[in-house]
Structure 1
Amino acid sequence: MADSDQGRDHGTDATFRELSDRWLAQSGPDLSPTTLRRYEDLLRLHILPGLGSVKISRVRTADLDRLYVGLVKERGLSPASVRQIHAIIRRALRQAVRWGWIATNPAAEASPPRVRRPELSPPDVEQVGQLLDYAKEHRPEFGRYLHLAATTGARRGELCALRWQNIDVNASTLTIGRAIVAVRGGLVEKDTKNHAARRIALDAGTLSVLADQRRVAEERADAAEVVLPEAGYVFSAEPDCSIPWTPTTTTKWFQSARDALGFENVRLHDLRHFAATRLLGAGVPVRTVSGRLGHANAATTFTIYAHFLEASDQSAADVMGDLVANPDASRPRSAATGGQSGPTISGQPTETG
């Protein structure tokens, strides 16, 4: 009665299907194409068959828990997929609360299965070297694509969306601000995952690889008697670089190279992990690594690569332990005290041995 007096009428007869249709119509424009497609698929395949005809006023927490258990035990879905399903249901019902259709969100107290974060095992330097060599020999342009993936840690769709105008040779930088994603009916170009562009530095070797790619693109354009535009895609099969490679195609090419070398457990995305772990292992600050990878913040990098950061922290502890236990060993010795001076850096003598 109090809710009714305040204009909050929770007596709706809307079903969960009606709610999900209204919610997606409102939320769709704010979702990326891939996320929207994923939501639609999960609703169609796993959520609506069980909840579609149920009135949202009759959905209970116990019903949702029973649905989650069935999806795991009977349909064989992974805990990660079920948690995605739970997120969709929770967001839809939260919108129903905002609209005043129901008083409380039953999904707020539901218990989806826990997800154990898998321990990352990125390829080592030797494996990456073999992958690059194989790709450069059998598909040279894709070899250059893999080189860029390994040195920048960029996502596959981000590399597919890379344009010539994004490369600043004079500043030795690369700007990543877009990504190619596959949707029903073709490809679309969208913002990056965190909706922000990032500029990262490039080493001389990677600049040389990009110069080789530019030379090949120009030769192809000249042969077709077309002009190579600066807005053209770096990785394209078209003479004018007007159509980018698709992420699915790069994955298939990578799988072919991987299988030929016997690296069945290595994924294209693992080159991103390779770049991150090597940078962290070399002592590069986490914030710098986070910026190069395009994470929303350094906390994301901490969460994903906690295992490697712990290993680095142990090395730091060993260094400090040695300094405290052997303070004399850390002091530079002068010639007057019997020390030997070595080569100089910026005019300052350095200790040898």
Structure 2
Amino acid sequence: MSIQRRPKTGKDKNGKVRWVARYRDASGREHSKTFGTKTDAKNWEAEQLRALRSGTWIDPIHRQSTVGDLVRDYRDSAARPKTREAWTTYYNALGELYDVPVGKLTAGMIRKWVAGRSEVWAPRTLSNAIAFLNTVLNKAMEDGVIAVNPGKGIRVSVPSKRLSADDVPAPADVMRLIRAVEDGRLCSHNRVERAAMVRLAAATGMRRGELLGLRPCDVNELAGTITVGQQRGNNPLKTQSSYRVISVDSVTMAAILAVSGERYIFESLGYGAAQKIMDRAHETGLWPRRWTFHSLRHFHATQLLSAGVPVKAVSARLGHSSAAMTLDVYAHLLPADDALAAGIVGDLLRDNCGMEGRGDGGLRAVK
């Protein structure tokens, strides 16, 4: 570390004196900066030394990386097309944050951006965007690009994931949708293939990407099962628990075998096929707009739980990480279970504890 005068004596050709401050980082590499006064040079040198001692020093080269640079690089590292698509949405919405050098990014800047995006994004979308930005900034910390994450602790409130009864179609609604696809009312091309995809979604609760990634080798006609092992394009599934084997009823099995392509079961369908079905169903009034293709997954789960299928089995079919996750989303939609529980306890009390029911629905002691 040193402070040197330039020139050593007198002044330069412009009649000025410059002061050069130098220091070495933890790796031994030298850094320098020129100032107009000796005081400024000393203050800068002291600031760098304090940062080195506290572990908050950042290489000036890294400080030039912008938020846009980091987000773009992280987005491009995504393995799944749908993930990259979602991250591109956040990247395109960076706005005023895009050109900010990451070393100069502050919590105030992020809060201002969040406030602006809250006017156009739903709370859950905004929450996901904040989580993504924090992931990018945390990685920047790990890579030594920044010392602290200015986005830490910034959150938005998000409504509960719990569904209402109106969010889930009934069996008659689902069958009406399948029939409408089969007879061409909702699509004019590949209607048999599309109908099979809708049926399989309702019969298994599979996600759209999982349906489109299903291959002929994943179907075991003899065992009556399908293996969920990838998404379209050989892309990985959402989570490790998403890898699973699902039993399929004979009618659904026959439907998917009838349309099986060479590489994929639904060879001619892409990610937009499901949305086109939904758009047409909404336009014709066949389905209310609150129902989406994902509602078929909700239908599958609620029907199984209502029929008394153990929650662990339902969770496994859905590819949830735990039965607790399944219960958190769906259990409250089954109020009949509470009445059933009350009846069971009432029977136990009557048969084993000398209690019997009263006409008003309560219990009284039997003498």
Partner of 2:98 in structure 1?
52
TM-score, with structure 1 as normaliser: 0.73
Moved more, 105-114 or 281-290: 105-114
Q: Which protein is richer in helix relative to its size? A: 1
- 3-state SS in 2 of match to 1:199: strand
Partner of 1:191 in structure 2?
236
What's the offset of the Cα at 1:25? Answer: 3.0
What's the offset of the Cα at 1:32? Answer: 2.1
What's the offset of the Cα at 1:208? Answer: 3.2
Q: Give the conservation status (yes or no) of the 8 Å contact 1:17–1:52.
A: no
The one-letter code of the counterpart of 2:318 is: L
Give the alignment partner of residue 41 of structure 1, picking from 80, 89, 94: 89
User: 1:9 & 1:305 partners in 2: Cα distance?
Assistant: 49
RMSD, matched Cα: 3.0
Give the alignment partner of residue 163 of structure 1, picking from 211, 215, 226: 215
User: 2:63 & 2:125 partners in 1: Cα distance?
Assistant: 23
Q: Give the conservation status (yes or no) of the 8 Å contact 1:68–1:113.
A: no
User: 1:23 & 1:268 partners in 2: Cα distance?
Assistant: 30
Partner of 1:147 in structure 2?
199
What's the offset of the Cα at 1:116? Answer: 4.2
Among the aligned pairs, what percent are the same residue? Answer: 25
Q: Give the conservation status (yes or no) of the 8 Å contact 2:205–2:296.
A: yes
Give the alignment partner of residue 64 of structure 1, picking from 101, 110, 116: 110
Distance 1:160 1:33, change over 3 A: closer
5+ residue gaps, structure 2: 1-48, 185-190, 354-367
Partner of 2:287 in structure 1?
263
Q: How does 1:85-164 map to 2 (within 5 A)?
A: 85-117=129-161, 119-120=163-164, 121-138=167-184, 139-164=191-216
What's the offset of the Cα at 1:291? Answer: 1.4
TM-score, with structure 2 as normaliser: 0.71
What's the offset of the Cα at 1:50? Answer: 1.6
5+ residue gaps, structure 1: 181-187, 218-227, 237-243, 330-353
Partner of 1:203 in structure 2?
249
Partner of 1:351 in structure 2?
none
- 3-state SS in 2 of match to 1:192: coil
- 3-state SS in 2 of match to 1:256: helix
The one-letter code of the counterpart of 1:314 is: D
Q: Give the conservation status (yes or no) of the 8 Å contact 2:68–2:97.
A: no
- 3-state SS in 2 of match to 1:131: helix
User: 1:254 & 1:15 partners in 2: Cα distance?
Assistant: 47
User: 1:84 & 1:261 partners in 2: Cα distance?
Assistant: 31
User: 2:76 & 2:340 partners in 1: Cα distance?
Assistant: 47
Q: Give the conservation status (yes or no) of the 8 Å contact 2:75–2:87.
A: no
- 3-state SS in 2 of match to 1:277: helix
User: 2:89 & 2:65 partners in 1: Cα distance?
Assistant: 14
Say which structure, 1 or 2, has more relative contact order (CA 8 Å, 6+ apart).
Answer: 1
User: 2:336 & 2:72 partners in 1: Cα distance?
Assistant: 44
Distance 1:274 1:52, change over 3 A: same
What's the offset of the Cα at 1:4? Answer: 0.9
What's the offset of the Cα at 1:198? Answer: 1.2
Q: How does 1:166-181 map to 2 (within 5 A)?
A: 166-180=218-232
User: 1:286 & 1:17 partners in 2: Cα distance?
Assistant: 49
User: 1:99 & 1:210 partners in 2: Cα distance?
Assistant: 47
CA-to-partner distance for each residue in 1:145-197, whole Å, 9 max, x for gaps?
221111111112222222222111111111111222xxxxxxx3412222553
Distance 1:14 1:131, change over 3 A: same
Q: Give the conservation status (yes or no) of the 8 Å contact 2:304–2:314.
A: yes
Q: How does 1:335-346 map to 2 (within 5 A)?
A: none
Distance 1:146 1:8, change over 3 A: same
User: 1:125 & 1:34 partners in 2: Cα distance?
Assistant: 29
CA-to-partner distance for each residue in 1:289-345, whole Å, 9 max, x for gaps?
121112233333233224236x3651452233222332279xxxxxxxxxxxxxxxx
Distance 1:12 1:91, change over 3 A: farther
Partner of 1:349 in structure 2?
none
User: 2:235 & 2:196 partners in 1: Cα distance?
Assistant: 23
The one-letter code of the counterpart of 2:197 is: Y
- 3-state SS in 1 of match to 2:121: coil
User: 1:27 & 1:52 partners in 2: Cα distance?
Assistant: 14
- 3-state SS in 1 of match to 2:231: strand
Q: Give the conservation status (yes or no) of the 8 Å contact 1:158–1:192.
A: yes
Distance 1:29 1:58, change over 3 A: closer
Q: Looking at CA atoms only, which structure, 1 or 2, has the larger radius of gyration?
A: 2
What's the offset of the Cα at 1:281? Answer: 1.2
The one-letter code of the counterpart of 1:235 is: F
User: 1:103 & 1:113 partners in 2: Cα distance?
Assistant: 27
